[in-house]
Amino acid sequence: MKKIPTGIPGFDELVGGGFNERSVNLIAAGPGCGKTLLCMQYLWNGVSKYDEPGLFISFEENIEDLKKDANAMGWHFDEYERHNKIKFVYFHPYEVRDIHRELERLITSIGAKRVVIDSTSVYGMTLETTFEVRKGLFDLTLILKRLGCVSLLTTEVPEGGGVSKLSRFGVEEFLADSIVLITFESMGGEFSRSLIIRKMRRTKNDDDIHPLEISSHGLKVHSLQ
Ligand SMILES: Nc1ncnc2c1ncn2[C@@H]1O[C@H](COP(=O)(O)OP(=O)(O)O)[C@@H](O)[C@H]1O
Ligand SMILES: [Mg+2]
């Protein structure tokens, strides 16, 4: 099976080379864990190293703030955006619109191979019933797969939910082909982040807990101490 490398140091070797082709992958973590940065790094490497166009749909942060964070990491998307290789689009969560159709239009407009939706928690929040949330997320994954994208969906893990709860709505993990869980906890008085691959379909993945470092160059996954 073809693997799509993230280019994130230390990550791809945990999952047999990268994410699966035509897959929807969940990045689950609490706030401040690095979900948004991980997604931007995935798109940055995609466009700058692998020549794969990328689309970032943000339901949370505005695009200006995202770009500021990216530039601070040395990921200068603007030039690629001018050449239609990258698109950052803010979706106002409560603005009524046909998100599914718009997503499809945006993907096709730049031939996006890598897609990020940040976050499904905010998207789902705008839907009224559990049924609508499930259907909305299910339809999103169908579109992303039909168009042949390799997508990252972020989800907020409820604080204090432990590892028993992996997503905001409890359905995202069943729709996803893989789950990457980031935790942020106190170890010996110091806070540190860890990354775990909770599942990856059709892949023998590493299932250890790895220290995750964030620096001014982005994320780096370390092997076990
Ligand atoms: N240059 C840096 N060095 C170290 N940590 C950083 C740096 N830039 C950002 N961070 C960390 O990354 C976190 C933000 O990550 P982000 O991807 O926005 O989290 P999430 O999307 O999960 O809420 C910040 O809380 C900060 O701790
Ligand atoms: Mg975020």
Confirm whether 7 is domain-assigned. no
Confirm whether 103 is domain-assigned. yes
Confirm whether 37 is domain-assigned. yes
Alpha-helical runs (H) found in 32-176: 35-49, 63-72, 78-82, 99-110, 120-125, 130-146, 172-175
**Closest among 160, 138, 151, 158 to 178, alpha carbons compared:** 151
CA of 119 to the centre of ligand 1 (A): 16
**Cα–Cα distance measured from residue 95 to residue 89, given in angstroms and rounded to the nearest whole number:** 14
Give the 3-state secondary structure percentages of the chain, helix then strand then coil, rounded to 5: 30, 30, 40
Confirm whether 124 is domain-assigned. yes
**Cα–Cα distance measured from residue 107 to residue 113, given in angstroms and rounded to the nearest whole number:** 8
Q: Tell me what percent of the residues of the chain surpass a pLDDT of 90.
A: 79
Q: What is the pLDDT of residue 205?
A: 85
Cβ neighbors of 187 (< 8 A, separation 6 or more) are none
Confirm whether 189 is domain-assigned. no
Strand partners, 178: 25, 200
Mean pLDDT computed over 48-77: 98
Neighbours of 81 (CB within 10 A): 15
Mean pLDDT computed over 130-140: 93
**pTM of the predicted structure, to 2 decimals:** 0.95
Angle at 144 between CA 163 and CA 155, to 5 degrees: 25
CA of 83 to the centre of ligand 2 (A): 26
Q: How many domains is the chain built from? A: 1
CA of 34 to the centre of ligand 1 (A): 5
**Cα–Cα distance measured from residue 216 to residue 15, given in angstroms and rounded to the nearest whole number:** 25
152 lines ligand 1 (CB under 6 A): no
182 lines ligand 1 (CB under 6 A): no
The amino acid present at 40, given as its one-letter code, is M
Confirm whether 95 is domain-assigned. yes
**Closest among 106, 62, 67 to 87, alpha carbons compared:** 106
Structure tokens at 150: 């390799």
36 lines ligand 1 (CB under 6 A): yes
**Closest among 43, 26, 28 to 218, alpha carbons compared:** 43
pLDDT digit string, tens, across residues 78-96:
999 999 999 999 999 888 7
Mean pLDDT computed over 206-211: 92
Confidence of residue 194 (pLDDT cuts 50, 70, 90): very high
Q: What is the pLDDT of residue 185?
A: 86
**Cα–Cα distance measured from residue 188 to residue 26, given in angstroms and rounded to the nearest whole number:** 29
Q: What is the pLDDT of residue 162?
A: 55
Which residue range(s) make up the domain with 97?
Answer: 26-182
Q: What is the DSSP letter of 16?
A: T
| Residue entry with tokens 């023998």 | 204
Q: What is the pLDDT of residue 163?
A: 57
Structure tokens at 55: 């689309």
193 lines ligand 1 (CB under 6 A): no
Confidence of residue 160 (pLDDT cuts 50, 70, 90): low
Domain CATH for 94: 3.40.50.300
Confirm whether 192 is domain-assigned. no
